[in-house]
Structure 1
Amino acid sequence: MILGLMIFFSGTLSLLFVRKHYLMSLLSLEFMILSLFYMNFNFLEFFYFDFYFLIIFLVLGVCEGVLGLSLIVYLVRKNSLDYVDTISLC
């Protein structure tokens, strides 16, 4: 369980350090989703529960990743870069 928490907090730190680049922040979010999956798997395995929740969790994680990638593709086609600093809100 401590390993899962260390992985989650390292994903959080990487998200804070690369917050200006969309693709790297999306990768760190996926890293955090995988660490949550690992912790849920260990919890459900310890108490001998079924793993149906994990399938739903993975499906939602994939949907989050696809939505993020589609937003990145839209921003790259619109602005030619995927950096936050180059995008103006006006």
Structure 2
Amino acid sequence: MKWQEKVRIVLYVWWLDIKSIPGKIKRRIWNKHILLRWHKLYIRKDEFHHSLNIDGAAMLEMNEQERERYLADIVRRREIAHQRDLTKC
């Protein structure tokens, strides 16, 4: 492989990485911070509410410790919603 082709490949990979920056910024700000905090404001009475679903886009931007806390919080909120759902009947 000629050096020009190698440079072209490196530049293409670099371009793909730069192209994805707006998506990373959106996931980091909107999904990881704003949306998760909004869903924590009020625990729903329905355990199948969409706010209790796992947000994969937010998990992409989290480190291991944040993921563990996030999943523990989801489980806690689902349990509370489940108990509220049982008492509603």
**TM-score, length-normalised on structure 2?**
0.46
Query: Which of 1 and 2 has greater Rg?
Result: 2
**TM-score, length-normalised on structure 1?**
0.45
